C-alpha cells in the first residue's frame, strides 16, 4: 500500500468512525448501522491480516471501554472479523458492490454472533431473537451503508488491493 493509499484509508476510517458517533445516535434505529465495523472492514481489506487484527483489537478495546462489564467482547469480535476480512480480501478483489454488500453483511452478522456470545448478557430466546432478527437487520443496514460509503468514496478509496 502506498503512502497516499494509506492516507486515504485512514481518512475513510476516520470519517466512518466519526459517523459512528454522530449519525448513528442521531438516527437512533433499533437495528443500527455499525459504521465502526465498516471502518474496520474497509481497513482490513487494505492491510495484512496481522495489521487487521491489531486494528480490530484496538478499536474493539476502545469500544469496550464504554461498557466495562463486557470489556474484551468487542475486541475479540473485531479481531476475528478483521482477520477473516483481511484473509478473504481476495474474494472482493473484483470490487463488486453486491459482493462487498455481502461482505459487510456477513462481517456484521459474524461480529454480532461473536460479540453477543462473548459478552454473556443475553441467553435463550433473547439471544436467538437478537442473533436471528435484530443482528441480520442491523447487518443489512450496515451493508447498505457500506455500499453507499464505497460508492461515495470510490474516488478516494480506489479499488481494493489484491
Partner 1 sequence: MARIGRASNRLDRVALAACAALSIVALALPAQVRDPIASSLRRSVVAPLLVLQERSELSRRAFLAHDAVVAARDSVALRAMKLVPLEEENARLRAIIGLGARLQWGFVPAEALHGKGVRDEFGLTLSAGSNAGVARLSPVVAPEGLVGVVDNVDPTMSHAMVWTHPDFRVSGMSEDASAFGIVQAHVAAGPGRYLMEMRGVPFRTSVKPGTLVVSSGLGGVYPRGIPLGRVIGETKTSETWARTYLVRPAVFPADVSSVMILRPDRVARGVDNVWASGMVSDSTVRRIVAAGDSMARTAALEEARARQAVQDSIVRDSLRRAGITPTDTTSPTPATPSPAATPVPRPAAPVVPVRRDTTFRDSAAIRRDTTRRPRRDSAIALPTPN
End-to-end CA distance of the chain: 10
Q: Does 54 bind partner 1 (CB under 8 A)?
A: yes
Long-range contacts of 152-160 (CB under 8 A, 24+ apart): 153/12, 153/15, 156/8, 156/11, 156/12, 157/8, 157/9, 157/12, 157/42, 158/5, 158/8, 159/93, 159/95, 160/45, 160/46, 160/89, 160/92, 160/93, 160/95
Span of 5-13, 59-67, 89-97, 153-161 interacting with partner 1 by CB under 8 A: 59-67
Q: Does 117 bind partner 1 (CB under 8 A)?
A: no
By CB under 8 A, the count of residues binding partner 1 is 36
Q: Is 33 helix (H, G, I), strand (E, B) or coil?
A: coil
Comparison of 79 and 135: residue with beta carbon closer to partner 1: 79
Q: Does 112 bind partner 1 (CB under 8 A)?
A: no
Return the residue of 4, 68, 98, 124 that touches partner 1, per CB under 8 A. 68
Return the residue of 35, 64, 101, 149 that touches partner 1, per CB under 8 A. 64
Return the residue of 60, 81, 92, 110 that touches partner 1, per CB under 8 A. 60
Q: Does 32 bind partner 1 (CB under 8 A)?
A: no
Amino acid at each position: 500500500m502506498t503512502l497516499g493509499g494509506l492516507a486515504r484509508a485512514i481518512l475513510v476510517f476516520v470519517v466512518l468512525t466519526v459517523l459512528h458517533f454522530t449519525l448513528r445516535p442521531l438516527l437512533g434505529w433499533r437495528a443500527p448501522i455499525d459504521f465502526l465495523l465498516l471502518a474496520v472492514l474497509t481497513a482490513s481489506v487494505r492491510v495484512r491480516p496481522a495489521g487487521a487484527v491489531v486494528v480490530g483489537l484496538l478499536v474493539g478495546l476502545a469500544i469496550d471501554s464504554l461498557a466495562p462489564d463486557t470489556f474484551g467482547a468487542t475486541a475479540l469480535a473485531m479481531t476475528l472479523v478483521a482477520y477473516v476480512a483481511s484473509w478473504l480480501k481476495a474474494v472482493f478483489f473484483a470490487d463488486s458492490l453486491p459482493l462487498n454488500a455481502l461482505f459487510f453483511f456477513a462481517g456484521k452478522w459474524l461480529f454480532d454472533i461473536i460479540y453477543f456470545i462473548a459478552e454473556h448478557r443475553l441467553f435463550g430466546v433473547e439471544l436467538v431473537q437478537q442473533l436471528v432478527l435484530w443482528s441480520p437487520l442491523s447487518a443489512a443496514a450496515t451493508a447498505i451503508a457500506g455500499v453507499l460509503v464505497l460508492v461515495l468514496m470510490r474516488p478516494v478509496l480506489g479499488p481494493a488491493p489484491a
